[in-house]
Structures are given as C-alpha cells and as structure tokens.
Structure 1
Amino acid sequence: MYPGKYAAETPEKVAALLADTGEELTYGDLEDRSVRLAHVFHDAGLRPGDVVALLTENNLRAFEVYWAAMRSGLYVTAVNHNLAPDEVTYIANDSGAAALVVSQAKAELATAVDRAGVGARLKLAFGGPVEGYASYEDALAQASAEPFDDQPQGAPMLYSSGTTGRPKGVRPPLPPVQVDQIGDPLVGLVGQAFGIGPDTRYLTPAPLYHAAPLRWSGAVMAHGGTVVMLRKYDSEAALQVIQDQRITHGQFVPTMFVRMLQLPENVRAGYDVASLRVAVHAAAPCPVDVKQAMIDWWGPILVEYYAGTEGNGMTMIDSRTWLSKPGSVGRAVVGTLHICDDEGKEAATGEVGTVFVERETTPFLYHNDPEKTREAQHPEHANWTTLGDIGYVDEEGFLFLTDRKSFTIISGGVNIYPQEIENVLALHPAILDVGVIGVPDPEMGESVKAFVQPRPGVETSPELEQEIIAFVKSKIAHFKAPRSVQFVDDLPRTETGKLVKGDLKKKYVTA
C-alpha cells in the first residue's frame, strides 16, 4: 500500500492539496518526483538506515521527500522550522542526517544552519535558490524516473518537543518489508478503524514536523485518499475548508476544538460540516465539556486516540463509547496497558500510576541517549515503555489519563493534577486560554496557580480572580482550586496546541 498503486490506476487524482493557495500534487506527479528524488539520494551515497532531514513550512514538496525516503529505506526527520539555527543544526547533526532538504521560504534559517556547520553531504532547496544549497528541481530533472527493483520501507525519525534540555530523536526499527507492504501499524489501523480509503478527503491543519500530521498524511496517501493541508491553523478557515473541500476526515487537537467553540454561534452555524464522517483528535487530553460540546455540534463522529511520537502503543475510543465512559481515551489497540507505581509494581484496577505499554519487543530508542531510553522503560521489563503520563484503567480496560507525571503538583503531600483544573476552566466565558502549574509555597511546598489569558473585551480584576477560583471550587474539590490567578497576554503553546509548562514556569520565576 503506497502511492505508486494509485499513480498507476488514477495518475491525475489529487494526492495532496494546499488549501491556502489551491496548489495540487497528483498521484502521478508524486510517484514520478519521489522516484527521481530516491535516485538523487542513492547517487549521493545514501543507503538504508541513513537519515534525510527536512526543513520546511507546510508545503507539498514535503510529501515528495517523505515518499522518496520511505521507498529507499531511509529515515526522514522533519525539523521544527520555528527553532533557532543552532537548534536546527543540533537536530540535523544529532540525527546523522546525510541529506538536508529545505524550503526557500525558510532561506534565512537554512543559510544560518549551513554556515553553522551542518554535516549533511547533500543539501537541496526547493521553491527558489538558497545560498549553500543545490537546486531541488535541477536535481530531479537530471535523475532517473525508473523505480528501483528493491524499495525497502523507511520510517519517520522525529524529535521530541524537548520540554527539558535538548530534544531527543525517536528512532524506531525499520520494518523488514518493501514500500508497497504494510510495515507501520498505523497504515493498517487508519483503514480498518477510521475508514480511510480512496474516497477520503483528509484535513491536516497542524505542522508536518509533528508525528501525527506527517504519519497520518502518509497513511492517507497509502490508502489512495486526498490530503488537504492548511499552512497554519485558523478556526474559521478550517470550517471554511471543511465546507468547500467536502472534508470527510480531519485530525485536530483539543485546543483547536476550544477555539472553534469560542467562535460566535452565528459564525459556527454559517458553515456546513455535514461531509465530516470522522473527526480524529489526540495530542492532549480533551476536557469532557469541550468534547461533549463538539459531539453536540458535529454529531457522534469524534474518535480519540492516545499515542506518542515514540509509537510505543495506542488506545482508541469512538464517540458512542465515550458517552458511556466520559473522559476515557479508550482501550488499547496496539500493545497491552499496565499501570505501575513508582517502584514499578502493578497498581490495582482504578488506582492511579504511571502508564506503561507492553509490546513484544522494545518499540523504540531515543537516539544517542541510552539514559533517557532506560528512563522510559519499566525497571524489570524493557519492552514496557512509558511516555511519562499518569492515569488509571477501569474494570473494563478503559484508560483515563490524569496528567503528565512531571506536571503533578504536590501540595501539603497531596498530588494535584493541573489537567483536571484546566479542563474545568476550558470553556469559562471569560477565559480564552489557561495553564495551571505548581509554584513554591513555604507552607505547602507547592501551591496551585492558574495563568489566564482572558477573552477579548474582558476586563481583569481582583473580583474576576475570585470568581475563577470560586468556579473551580464549585466543580471539583476545594483543595484543588488555584490559590491565585495571574492574568497574562498569552500562553506558550506549540503549533499543535500543547502548553509548554517549562516556559510558563520560567515566566513565573522571572516575573
């Protein structure tokens, strides 16, 4: 299952569309250009197991690079284009990238990376000239269009967000199959569980340097669907694209849902979203009230999964099941769940602990970081791995996430989970965005503090602070409520909506 099958059957069918400009990439062109690029890589000496780094905004050329790597047994490392030059250089060199492909739209950054001494021996730029890089188009024009007889399947090798210290590369084992076979379990899952097929029109509004947008877009193409991509997420623009492009499937994060729900009712009602059959969401726990509101609006089409860049496992839950298990992220569909205490002992049903996923073999390594790899493994079972989340499993095997272990607030010896408080405040009428952290407290060790970005037009005041605290107390136990609220202009979030709590703590400490 790969685009070549559809290039042979329906070469003029659109494999990917950039919604902002209307630019299209057909299956025929994707096949031709990825074959040619595979020859460029091979002629430069790249062989299975080598790494291709990609530095680009959301651009159709990214899919050519992805499939050229996938049909050559190469790893593809998509790099966050918002990073500083030394951070990009670090990732490219740490991954051992033998090739670096960049977009002319990121010329200033790409040039700085070249001057910083990136080690890639092949450097290509598309979209226009970039100092220090050869022309992507010229390289393709001179390359063979004949596919190799041997096309071992490659894999993404992406880097973690790096909330503490340098980001780390997640290097999965290469599947021992050819590109037209199923190696990545996600490819099979999206077809069976999510109904992805040739009639799919899949909206991806998040940046391709993240694991889910890149891997899911690749999986949609493997099934012959059409990927519709946004340059950058905007709530109303996303609704417009769903309507105009008759989107059947889309993938979102909870923050995107919150932003949609914050649009005026008449604006939301003005868009036709009836074409949507499945709205996938992941990346962070979704507040119960937010998910319920989305189901009320879009119908029971939301499907949630829990997984990570590491690809160590996956849970899934559809809307109808979730309505009977509100707050759950589902049962395991890849791997076996284990909840363990700090010593590694398995917890009782319903007891909160660290979430581990068991696989037959160890599913990943953190590249060049054996210590971090060991930290992600159970002390007695190397093939039980964790992403650092905590939660519990009920008597029917449904997983409920509580928070990330590193975010837990310990106040007076009691564990408090910020996610629970953030969920309560997600749809408060005065709040646009909220983040909760623990701050030093001489009496309690830590106390709960909420950072609130108010909605436009909302006047902040001591009275509003007390109203927010009282609102939390009306919903959950009083000891979990913030001791204080600080109003801020914005909160540090990634483009996929994850709150960067390390940066939030830095702001608080230096405030």
Structure 2
Amino acid sequence: GYYAKVFGSHANCLSYPDGERTWVQLESRANQIARLLVEHQVVPNSFVTVALPNGILFHEVCFAIWKVGATPHIVSHRLPDGELSAILQLLKPAVLIGAESRGVEGCPALQIETANSTYSDAPLQPKVAKHWKAMSSGGSTGRPKIIVDAKSSEMDISQSLFDLPSKSCILNPGPLYHNVPFSFSHSALARGNRVVGMGKFDAETVLKLIQEHAVTWVMMVPTMMHRIWRLPEGIRSKYDLSSINIVGHVASPMPVWLKEKWVEWLGPGRVYELYGGTEGTGGTWMSGYEWLEH
C-alpha cells in the first residue's frame, strides 16, 4: 500500500501481455491469496513451490507468500514430471502452485483461482521470512539442487545493487524461474519501479517496449542481445532508446565483437556486465568504460 500512496491509486506497477496491475490492485490481490495460503497450512518459514509462467499472477503469488512470512521456491512451469517430483520430495514444500496443478504425494497442489472476492483484501500483519527465495538448479551432479538464499524477506530499499533505479521503469525479457529475472523484477518492485514483463522473448518487442514505457534499466543474456543486433538496421534505428540508462548482460560469456557493437551503439556508460552466482557469494558489475580499458 505504500507506493499506492506515493504514486496514487491509478498508478501501474506491472505491465504484461496478460494485463496490467496498479499498486492498489497488487496489494489487494496479494492479501487475498495470502489468506488462501494460510487456510492451506502455509506457515512462516515454510516453502511454497511456484511453477507459473511469466505474468501478473506470478508476482501476486510471490508477494502473497512473503506476506505470510513464507519463502517462494521457484521452478520452471515446463519442468518434466520426474524432475518436479524429485525436487518436491527433496524440499517438501507446504503447497505447489502452478505446473497445471501437478503434485506429488505429500505435497498438495493449490488452485489460486479460488482466491476470489470471498477472501478479504484487508492489510495483514507484516511477517518476515528467514529466506526470501529458493531457486532450483540441476547442479553439476545431475541431481536436483535447491539454492536457499541466506537473506531474509525484509529488504532495505535504500540500497541500489547494480544501479537498479528507484521509482522508474525496468524491463524484464527473461523467464521468472531464472534467478536474475526473478531477483531483479521483485527488487525493482520493492524499490517502487514499474516492471514491464514479456511472456516470451522477441527482439523487436524489446525495443518497442523500451520506447513505449520509457524503460530505464534492462538485464539480458548475450543471446538476446545477439538477436536484437541481428535485426535489420532500419528496425533497430526506428525506436527511441534515449530513456535507457543501463543495459546489463549476465549468465554466459559475451562475444567481444558483440560487446563492441553494443558499446558503439549505446555508449560505454550504458552497457554493463554482471558476473555472479545464484548462491549470492559475490558478484562484479563492470561498465563499458572499464571493459574498454581491459
């Protein structure tokens, strides 16, 4: 409710292909879903497995989980039954949300659609989870690995990691079941940013959304940047990207020639590289200027 007071009741915080939400609507819907979770024995510091595609509901569910002091455990909604079952047996979450409501023995599947207007959307007493997220990984052994973040769900919004803005607009072109899209999208919302999300990546749509929403910050992987660069120059040049302050890249090595092209296109002060791991043991953030020096 805080940002609804700051920006007004009609200010949007989420824009996706499946719709938009204002800060008021996000708060209301998260409170309703939170009450549904409590009704299904979700207690503080329990895990709730989220297997949803990119969209409005994904964020509503995660904020509801934090509201009850629990931890969202994120998996791909496309995960094969065998892998999903192995992960759920390892973690033993309170409930599973999404993945077409597939479940395993001992892990009930919850239909979020039942959290309708019969549940109150009144504010809830704040609770803090010991762990703010848990991400899944196949690991190097081929066995499922769950990376539980050591940080709590209480966030210091005065801290700006990796030049993430405040009260601005960011674009997320990646799947929310990956650590970087998940972390930055929700951290951005916590800092009062509007998040523009994509259901699936499309090179020209990225440029269109940057222009349409005056996006100031976006994080991509080199493959995405390669696809954008391969667009005909007439398409790339017809969009206004002047709002962008940061284009970051992460997750895999960036070809030198491609980095040079992006630095030439946007300037070295707007192209940044992030290196780090899901475990959160450390990371580096390097500008195009620093990259050119090396």
TM-score (norm: length of structure 1):
0.54
Q: 1:194 to 1:269 in 2, by over 3 A?
A: same
Shift of 1:297: 1.0
Q: 2:191 aligns with which of 223, 237, 241?
A: 223
**What do the CA deviations read for 1:386-429 (whole angstroms, capped 9, x no partner)?**
xxxxxxxxxxxxxxxxxxxxxxxxxxxxxxxxxxxxxxxxxxxx
Corresponding position of 1:270 = 238
Q: Distance in 2 between matches of 1:203 and 1:266?
A: 23
Asked if 1:124 is matched to 2:124, the reply is no
Matches within 5 A, 1:402-421: none
Specify which structure has the higher proportion of strand. 1
**Deviation of 1:310 (Å):** 1.2
- 1:97 maps to which of 90, 93, 96: 93
Selected match of 1:142 from 118, 127, 137:
118
Q: Choose from 5, 28, 46 the match for 1:8.
A: 5
Structure 1 residues 118 and 271: alpha-carbon distance in aligned structure 2, compared to 1, 3 A threshold: farther
User: What's the C-alpha RMSD, in Å, of the aligned pairs?
Assistant: 2.0
Separation of aligned partners in 1, 2:117 and 2:56 = 18
Q: In the alignment, which residue of structure 2 is the partner of 1:88?
A: 84
1:193 deviates by 4.5
Aligned to 2:249: 281
Q: 1:194 aligns with which of 157, 163, 167?
A: 163
Aligned residue type for 1:16? L
Does the alignment pair 1:295 with 2:263? yes
> C-alpha distance in 2, partners of 1:268/1:150?
46
**1:239-388 → structure 2 map (5 Å cutoff):** 239-300=207-268, 301-325=270-294
Tell me how far apart the structure 2 counterparts of residues 282 and 188 of structure 1 sit (CA, whole Å). Answer: 24
Residue equivalent to 2:15: 17
Query: What is the aligned partner in structure 2 of residue 170 from structure 1?
Result: 147
Where 1:173 maps in the other structure, the secondary structure is coil
User: In the alignment, residue 141 of structure 1 is paired with which amino acid?
Assistant: S
- Equivalent in the alignment of 2:69: 73
Larger radius of gyration: 1
| Runs of 5+ unmatched residues, structure 2 | none
Q: CA deviation at 1:161?
A: 4.0
TM-fit CA distance, 1:162? 3.7
1:46-68 Cα offsets, whole Å, 9 max, x none, are 22221111111111110011111
Higher relative contact order (Cα pairs below 8 Å, separated by 6+ residues): 2
Q: Secondary structure at the match of 2:253?
A: coil
The secondary structure found in structure 1 opposite 2:94 is strand
Aligned residues of 2:203 and 2:227 also touching (Cα < 8 A)? yes
Q: Name the aligned partner's letter for residue 5 of structure 2.
A: A
Conserved in 2, the CA contact under 8 Å of 1:204 and 1:213? yes
SS in structure 2 at match of 1:304: strand
Distance 1:41 1:213 in 2: 24
1:299 shift after superposition: 1.9
Distance of aligned partners of 1:252 and 1:193 in 2 relative to their CA distance in 1, 3 Å threshold: closer
Other-structure match for 1:41: 37
1:148 Cα shift? 2.9
User: 1 CA distance for matches of 2:202 and 2:162?
Assistant: 28
C-alpha distance in 1, partners of 2:151/2:207? 38
| One-letter amino acid of the structure 2 residue matched with residue 15 of structure 1 | C
Which AA in structure 2 matches 1:138? T
How has the CA–CA distance of structure 1 residues 35 and 215 changed in structure 2, closer, same or farther, with 3 Å as cutoff? same
Please give the per-residue CA displacement for 1:182-209, whole angstroms capped at 9, x wherever unaligned.
Answer: 2xxxx655x36415111x2111011000
**Percent identity over paired residues:** 30
3-state secondary structure, aligned to 1:141: coil
State the partner residue of 1:400: none
Structure 1 CA distance, aligned partners of 2:150 and 2:261? 40
- In 2, Cα distance between equivalents of 1:5 and 1:156: 22
Q: Look up the match of 1:463.
A: none
Aligned-residue offset at 1:164:
4.0
Change (3 A) 1:192 1:162: closer
- Give 1:274 deviation, angstroms: 1.6
Q: Give the conservation status (yes or no) of the 8 Å contact 2:218–2:246.
A: yes
Aligned to 2:206: 238
